[in-house]
């Protein structure tokens, strides 16, 4: 009886294109190895890249910490029922707290009203708790005093000019912030007088706009992201 041979399928045989693909892959790998071996990497570039990445992460952390500070400051203002008066704004350079002069002082005075001193103290504590205990401690607080364009009378016994009044008002706020825990090295009082109005003090005809003057009389506490 004639034997029947069974044809066995060779499972190790690969499609024809695989050989070409493998050769091409090996050649490409050899090419890139050759390129790398002929380059002269500059270690300084790797250091610059690492430093840039570090700064980017630090900037993100700072932004998050200032957002949290803005949230907590608004909570303080809400608890004191001062939302309609005190404004907290987060900007690219930090946080601005704007307080109208009528909320802080009696007319022509630089002494902070008794009911507002605890508010400034609470603002100070909030800043120190969130920033001094965070990874971001390099901040500077500039307190700006602003007046309207109404000049100080010559016979005023307390102030010589709007420059004098605005500077003393700013200094008074700085003293409260410092007494409440903020390092004096992080504080700077600035008198701006009538040089930086929010709105015009007068209309085009030169007539006084009382509501605008009231807006321009203010104190601004700027918490800046200084490095």
Please report, for the domain that includes residue 142, its CATH number.
3.30.1330.60
How far is it, in rounded angstroms, from Cα 223 to Cα 182? 12
The Cβ of residue 193 has, within 10 Å, a number of other Cβ atoms equal to 19
Residue 155 lies in a domain: yes
Residue 139 lies in a domain: yes
Residue 22 lies in a domain: no
Total count of domains within the chain: 1
pTM: 0.72
Residue 9 lies in a domain: no
Beta pairing partners, 223: 95, 141
Owning domain of residue 102: 46-224
Distances (CA, A) of 202 to 75, 147, 148, 151, 214: 35, 14, 10, 14, 12
Residue 28 lies in a domain: no
* H runs (alpha helix) in 99-209: 101-104, 117-127, 162-179
Whose tokens are 């050899």? That residue is 30
Residue 6 lies in a domain: no
Of residues 184 and 2, more confidently modeled? 184
Q: Mind listing the pLDDT tens digit for each residue in 62-92?
A: 677 888 899 999 999 999 999 999 999 998 8
Give the chain's end-to-end CA distance (angstroms, integer): 98
Residue 4 lies in a domain: no
- pLDDT (average), residues 121-144: 87
Residue 161 lies in a domain: yes
Mean of the per-residue pLDDT values for the chain? 82
Of residues 52 and 215, more confidently modeled? 215
Q: Mind listing the pLDDT tens digit for each residue in 191-224?
A: 999 999 999 999 999 999 999 999 999 999 999 9
The band of 24, judged by pLDDT with boundaries at 50, 70 and 90, is low
**Which pLDDT value is given to residue 172?**
97
């Amino acid at each position: 009886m004639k034997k029947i041979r069974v044809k066995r399928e060779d499972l190790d045989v690969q499609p024809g294109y695989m050989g070409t693909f493998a050769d091409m892959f090996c050649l490409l790998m050899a090419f890139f190895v050759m390129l790398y071996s002929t380059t002269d990497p500059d270690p300084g570039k790797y250091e610059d890249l690492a430093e840039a990445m570090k700064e980017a992460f630090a900037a993100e952390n700072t932004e998050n910490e200032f957002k949290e500070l803005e949230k907590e400051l608004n909570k303080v203002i809400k608890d004191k029922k001062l939302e309609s008066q005190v404004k907290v704004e987060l900007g690219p350079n930090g946080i601005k707290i704007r307080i109208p002069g009528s909320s802080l002082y009696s007319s022509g005075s630089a002494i902070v009203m008794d009911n507002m001193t605890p508010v400034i103290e609470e603002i100070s504590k909030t800043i120190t708790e969130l920033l001094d205990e965070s990874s971001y401690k390099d901040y500077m607080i500039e307190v700006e005093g602003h007046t309207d364009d109404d000049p100080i009378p010559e016979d005023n016994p307390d102030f010589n000019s709007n420059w004098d009044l605005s500077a003393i008002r700013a200094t008074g706020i700085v003293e409260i912030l410092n007494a409440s825990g903020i390092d004096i090295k992080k504080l700077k009082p600035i008198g701006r007088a009538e040089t930086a109005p929010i709105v015009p003090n007068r209309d085009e005809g030169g007539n006084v706009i009382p509501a605008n003057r009231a807006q321009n009389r203010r104190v601004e506490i700027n918490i800046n992201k200084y490095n």
